[in-house]
Amino acid sequence: MAYKVGIVGATGAVGTELLTLMEQRNFPVSELRLLASSRSAGKKVEALGTTHTIEEVKASALEGLDFAIFSANGMLSKELCPLAAKAGAAAIDNSSAFRMNPEVPLVVPEINAEAAKSHRGIIANPNCTTVIALMATYPLHQKFGLKRMISSTYQAVSGSGLNAMEELERQMGQLSRGEDPSVEAYPYQIAMNALPHVDAFLDNGYTKEEMKMVNESRKIMGIPDLIASCTCVRVPVMRSHSVSVDAEFADPVDVDAARSAIESAHGIDLVDDPGNLAYPMPLDFANRENCGVGRIRKGMAFENGLSFWVVGDQLWKGAALNAIQIAECLLD
């Protein structure tokens, strides 16, 4: 069986990757509608072996779809996801608009695929950093029982979209020529720098991104009382986020058992041989479906603690791939 699929935000960084991955994974498509703003309407795009014309995104363009995958801003998702669902589509949303809505499943298929099947028309795709961190954390939770998670992120500019990716490349060129770098995408120069600031600051001193990590982790893993804290940092890496995690567990931990749990989990590769300088790095996991985990060691801050490092492609597992996998959970 093949399906009618619409991609909202088809010309953006995630939308482009959605098209690549749908072709690579042979997603069964009978009709593909590429939707974007009026600025992009009329452009021609090659996808799935055919030339498609970008359509302006509006309610009428969502009629008759089986799947509507949204990779646009939250305001547009709030307006159009309910309309897509009402028209009969499964709306898979990559924004934060519906993630904490108790009636909307928040899904990482390797963790809670069954939740997708209970949807009422809308399924939320989690924050990219949350997905990548939990790909390593959840198998360890299953083994030892997670109680506390403290994380620091090292987030690639791909998380801010194509403009930020272009800005990093431009700034590196400008610096190499001895020029002052032009700054637009971020408050400060990102090339050769690190910004402890991802998303807007809240009254509690944390950013929205940091609170997404905390709240979404609780919902996805079904641990509402999880003690968690996070610091999110933007770094001059083109794509693939990295996360350092210190976790406390209910049961005594064992490093060899932790490695075995990672090795037997789906969607993640163990790269953990410090003696031979083997550990996951952003360059190695760009354009890869699996995430990588390494530097697994006994934690020094908690009695039953593990410290580890996880890396994943923000545009793939952190966004486009996870959305496609959610859709695959719903295929007949």
53 vs 27, 40, 169, 258, CA distance in Å? 20, 9, 29, 49
Neighbours of 50 (CB within 10 A): 9
Is residue 92 within 8 A of residue 65, CB to CB? The reply is no
Judged by phi (left if over 0) then psi (alpha if -120 to 50, else beta), residue 78 lies in alpha
Judged by phi (left if over 0) then psi (alpha if -120 to 50, else beta), residue 281 lies in beta
Sequence-ordered list of residues with C-beta below 8 angstroms from that of 221, at least 6 positions apart, any chain:
111, 112, 134, 137, 138, 141, 146
Q: Which of 81, 141, 230, 241 is catalytic?
A: 241
Q: Which of 81, 119, 128, 141 is catalytic?
A: 128
DSSP annotation of 207 = B
230 flagged as catalytic: no
141 flagged as catalytic: no
For every residue of 46-106, DSSP letters joined together read EETTEEEE-EE--GGGGTT-SEEEE-S-HHHHHHHHHHHHHTT-EEEE-SSSSTT-TTS-B
Judged by phi (left if over 0) then psi (alpha if -120 to 50, else beta), residue 158 lies in alpha
Residues that are catalytic? 128, 241
